[in-house]
Amino acid sequence: MSDSQAIAQGTHPEGSGAHVEHPPYLRHHFNSVEQQADTAGFAMWLFLLTEVMFFGGLFTAYLIYRNWYYASFVAASHQLSIVLGTCNTVVLIFSSFTMAMGVWCAETRRKKGLVVSLLLTIALGLVFLGIKTVEYREKYEKHHIPGDHYSLQSFINPASDKEASEAGDKPLALDAAQHTELYFSLYFAMTGMHALHMIIGIGILVFMVIRAQAGAYTSGHVTFVENFGLYWHFVDIVWIYLFALLYLISRHA
């Protein structure tokens, strides 16, 4: 009911005939700038909720299979590089910082700062994807991409494999070794969906840089930058969970 009253206070005095000056970005169906910004923010949070449900399906699958095939998941997780994963985590957290800087610059109407922050965010996003490509390439070379060419070598004969022998893995029985394919199925589905969100995000960032240079977000209308910031932080948080679940937990079974 409080939001209803807010609308009442901002009622358009159209009935009285006078057309009040309002900023050009106020869309016709809103009564006030506050209502418009409030609405867009609420919509963004709801959208992020749908994203939570989207990734939730994957996390559920991960949870179930991790419980079923614990040994396989532990052995398979040794194949991931903690160093690269940590680098990527740092890169992403830093990109969230530059994004937050961007939002602050937009709010305080610093056009140059905004453009620089957005460009930095793009750069860090690309670094993340670059490191991810290196990791994917390693998996490709070791035939750890699920499908017809999947190789069980690293898990049946860990001595032959650098990462597995470093972690001190014991050889897995054939069926347990086969279940590592499930770990990599989820690894690629989860990190792939995350990377897709990064790519979409970078696309929108490029669009925002172009608009920002034309001075779009530094004249008081910062809703778009703010809401994109929420999206970017969300994608960041998803990675934090992925990093913990896929790379970190139970490395020492």
Partner 1 sequence: MSDTIVELPDQATARIPKVNYITKENGLLSWLLTGDHKRIAILYLISITFFFFVGGALAGLIRLELLTPQSDLMASDTYNKVFTMHGVVMVFLFLVPSVPATLGNFFIPMMIGAKDLALPRINLLSWYLYVVGGILVLITMVTGGVDTGWTFTTPLSIHYVNTNVLTTGLAIFVAGFSSIFTGLNFIVTTHKMRAPGMTWFRLPLFVWANYAASILMVLGTPVLAITIVLVALERTIGIGVFDPTKGGDPLLFQHLFWFYSHPAVYIMILPGMGVISEVISTFSRKRVFGYTAVAFSSVAIAVFGFFVWAHHMFIMGVSNYAVLVFSLLTMLVAVPSAIKIFNWAFTLYKGSITFETPMLYAFGFMGLFTIGGLTGVFLGATGTDIHLTETYFIVAHFHFVMVGGMLMAFLAGIHFWWPKMTGRMYPEKVSQLAAVVTFIGFNFTFFPQFILGILGMPRRYAAYPAEFQILNVFSTAGATILGVGYMLPILYLIWSLKYGAIAGDNPWQATGLEWQCQSPPLTENFTVQPIMDHEAYDYEWLEGQKQKEEEVASVG
Residues lying near partner 1 in the complex (CB under 8 A) are found at 1, 3-5, 7-8, 11-12, 14-15, 27-29, 31, 35, 38-40, 42-43, 46-47, 49-51, 53-58, 60-61, 64-65, 68-69, 72, 145-148, 175, 178-179, 181-182, 184-186, 188-189, 193
φ and ψ at 223, to 5 degrees?
-50, -45
* 103 in Cβ contact with 225 (< 8 Å): yes
Tokens standing for residue 176:
């347990």
Q: Toward partner 1, which CB reaches closer, 49 or 244?
A: 49
Residue in 51, 33, 132, 50 with CA at minimum distance from that of residue 91: 132
Q: Toward partner 1, which CB reaches closer, 102 or 132?
A: 132
Q: Toward partner 1, which CB reaches closer, 38 or 138?
A: 38
Q: Name the minimum Å distance from CB 65 to partner 1.
A: 8
Q: Toward partner 1, which CB reaches closer, 58 or 123?
A: 58
Q: Name the minimum Å distance from CB 24 to partner 1.
A: 16
Question: Cβ neighbours of residue 7 under 8 Å, at least 6 residues apart?
Answer: 31, 32, 35
DSSP element (H, E) containing 72: helix 70-77
* 166 in Cβ contact with 172 (< 8 Å): no
Q: Name the minimum Å distance from CB 108 to partner 1.
A: 26
* 143 in Cβ contact with 153 (< 8 Å): yes
10 Å CB burial of residue 169 (0-12, 13-18, 19+) is: buried
Q: Name the minimum Å distance from CB 5 to partner 1.
A: 7
Radius of gyration from C-alpha coordinates of the chain: 24
Q: Name the minimum Å distance from CB 39 to partner 1.
A: 4
Q: Toward partner 1, which CB reaches closer, 30 or 122?
A: 30
Q: Name the minimum Å distance from CB 209 to partner 1.
A: 21
Q: Toward partner 1, which CB reaches closer, 27 or 112?
A: 27
